[in-house]
Amino acid sequence: MSFGKRSNIRANVGILKKGSKNSRQLERYFKGVANHRRIEIVALVAKQPGLSVDQITQSLDCNFKVVSVHTHKLVQAGLLEKKHIGRTVIHSLSPYGKKIYQFIKTF
């Protein structure tokens, strides 16, 4: 099989709908929740939007620094949004975070 045919086959497989996210974007979302603590944070924020890192720390009985690092990674992955209110930062799910949460609930 020549390279031309192989690339045509790959292009024709089309596992993603036209206009949907590409595979690299999907990888970013899935890597964002590829940790049990981040999954817990996504689930908690889905149920209680507007939580600060302190509140997440207390709810999950976890270390502040650990929660801070994980929320930062979730924001970078595009799954959490943060909003500054004075010195407090509150977190809510992004539209893609909500979709990932719905996906997680199916398991």
Q: What is the pLDDT of residue 22?
A: 85
Q: For 49-75, b where at least 16 C-beta lie within 10 A, e where not — what string?
A: eebbbebbbebbeeeeeebeebbebbb
Output the pLDDT for position 64: 96
Burial class (CB in 10 A: 0-12, 13-18, 19+), 19: exposed
Pair 91, 51: CB distance under 8 Å: yes
| Rounded Cα–Cα distance for residues 89 and 57 (Å) | 13
pTM of the model: 0.80
Of residues 95 and 8, which shows the higher confidence score? Answer: 95
| pLDDT score at 5 | 55
Give yes or no for residue 67 having a pLDDT over 80. Answer: yes
Read off the pLDDT of residues 3-62 as tens digits, 9 standing for 90 and up. Answer: 555 555 455 555 555 556 688 888 999 999 999 999 999 999 999 999 999 999 999 999
Average pLDDT over residues 85-97: 95
Would you kindly state where each structural domain of the chain is located, as residue ranges? 20-105
In the predicted model, is pLDDT for residue 76 greater than 90?
yes
Task: Say which CATH architecture domain 20-105 belongs to.
Answer: Orthogonal Bundle (1.10)
